[in-house]
Structure 1
Amino acid sequence: MALFDATLFAEATITLVVIMDPPGTVPVFLSLTGRKTRATRNRAARQAVLVSLGVISLFAVGGHAILGYLGIGIPALQGAGGLLLLLIALDLLAGKGSTEPEAVEDVNVALVPLGTPLLAGPGAIAATIVFVRQTDGGIGDYLTMALAILTVHLILWLCLRYSGVVIRVIKDSGITLLAKIAGLLLAAIAVQLIADSVRGFITGAA
């Protein structure tokens, strides 16, 4: 049995990259950390990616069992993630969060909403669970999935780590505009997640 499945690796990596959208996270990341120091931004990027890696890995190992034990379905996960993102989006659109430089906030934004549910959101969690369930349970498939998850998070870290280049171009006023745009995008993502959640509940009940 091969220890590396190139097809599985390509499918899992491409799917997770599309869902987690590393370049698309940069505007939200900058809207939340753009006025922080470079060291703080780098720390937030590292923490967010590590949180996402931990959440995705946890659900890759025991996601199906965890959701089954708690009686939680993917639609419920989507609804919760959508509501949380909607609250963050409303804060960004209202101009909050950009004038509070407390250190504790630096950690909070790295955990929520950056680490989860923005990076490790319902879509990425659901896709990971599906890929793991489709494997034959061999050690090679598990190693392939682990490598795919690590590769995706390396791409995420690179996008966030070097997002400071964008700050030097757009300046402080650009960050304010970026926060509004990111808030609008987040609101759209949140509404889509809630809609998918409702659709999932209706389909499951039908």
Structure 2
Amino acid sequence: MSFDTAVFLATFVTLFVIMDPPGVIPVYLSLVGRKTKEARNRAAWQAPAVSLLVITVFAVGGQAILSYLHIGIPALQGAGGLLLLLIALDLLRGRGAGGTDPHGDAEVNVALVPLGTPLMAGPGAIAAVIVAVAQADTGGTYLAIAAAILAIHTVLFLVLRFATTLIRILGEGGITLLARIAGLLLAAIAVQLVASSVMGFIDQYSAG
């Protein structure tokens, strides 16, 4: 069983482009910027851990899960888009920029939603992993896909862990501004996901 380097690189690059580690930074900072250092550091590893769990579950049994529930990728895109839109509206209205209680457990929630999923482990990443696993035909290929998934989540952790140093530079006003910008970006991502969902349903029914 030889490690398939080409598949590893292809899967890693695909997931890097879809999950966009640098693009997660403003959302992460806007959500945890006012929390304690310990809370920020917890969120930095919890979010990639949640994403890794979700991606792994769908890599192992994604096609079976979707088939059993009669759910298509367009439905996942629509659900993810609506969820992100709700988070974006909270950020734009100043109600989701890191929680009002810096010592509370809200950081666990933002690590789960929206950071872990659907921002990191979103419909695009899930679909890419399902397709990659479906095309795999050797043990080395499966190993390469698994290594790529671990590698991208290591990158996500490192990006979030060291992004906290920007908080001292930004300050309170910078975090507030970043929250509004992140809300706008999330809203745009949400609209794009919903639009892709609609187009996916149109293509699905027109092909049928």
Instruction: Give the TM-score normalised by structure 1.
Output: 0.97
Name the residue aligned to 1:205: 205
* AA aligned opposite 2:134: R
Deviation, 1:97, is 2.2
Q: Distance in 1 between matches of 2:74 and 2:96?
A: 29
CA-to-aligned-CA distance 1:145-175 (integer Å, 9 cap, x gap)? 1100000000000000111121121111100
1:109-124 equivalence runs, <5 A: 109-124=110-125
Runs of 4+ in structure 1 off by over 3 angstroms are none
Aligned residue for 2:78? 79
Aligned to 1:97: 96
**Larger CA deviation: 98-107 vs 172-181:** 98-107
Match for 2:189: what amino acid? I
Question: Following superposition of structure 1 onto structure 2, how do residues 12-91 of structure 1 map, counting pairs within 5 Å?
Answer: 12-91=11-90
**What CA deviation, in whole Å up to 9, does each residue of 1:23-56 have, x standing for no partner?**
1001000000001111100101111110000000
How many Å apart are 1:192 and its aligned residue?
Answer: 0.1
* Contact kept? 2:87, 2:96, Cα under 8 Å: no
Unaligned 5+ segments in structure 1 are none
Counterparts of 1:96 and 1:160, CA distance in 2:
22
**Partner SS state of residue 103, structure 1:** coil
Shift of 1:104: 2.7
Deviations 1:101-120 (A, max 9, x none): 16231111110111000000
Give 2:73's aligned amino acid. I
**Identical aligned pairs, as a percentage?**
65
Tell me what 1:171 maps to.
Answer: 171
What is the letter of the counterpart of residue 149 of structure 1? I
Q: Counterpart in 2 of 1:153?
A: 153
Structure 2 residue runs without a partner (length 5+)? none
Deviations 1:12-33 (A, max 9, x none): 0000001000010010000000
Where does residue 131 of structure 2 map in the other structure? 130
Q: Is the 8 A contact 2:87 2:183 kept in 1?
A: yes
SS at match of 1:35: coil
> How many residues get paired?
204
Letter in 2 for 1:126: A
Letter in 2 for 1:43: R
Q: Distance in 2 between matches of 1:97 and 1:86?
A: 12
Counterpart CA distance in 2 for 1:195 and 1:114 is 21
Amino acid at match of 2:156: L
RMSD: 0.9
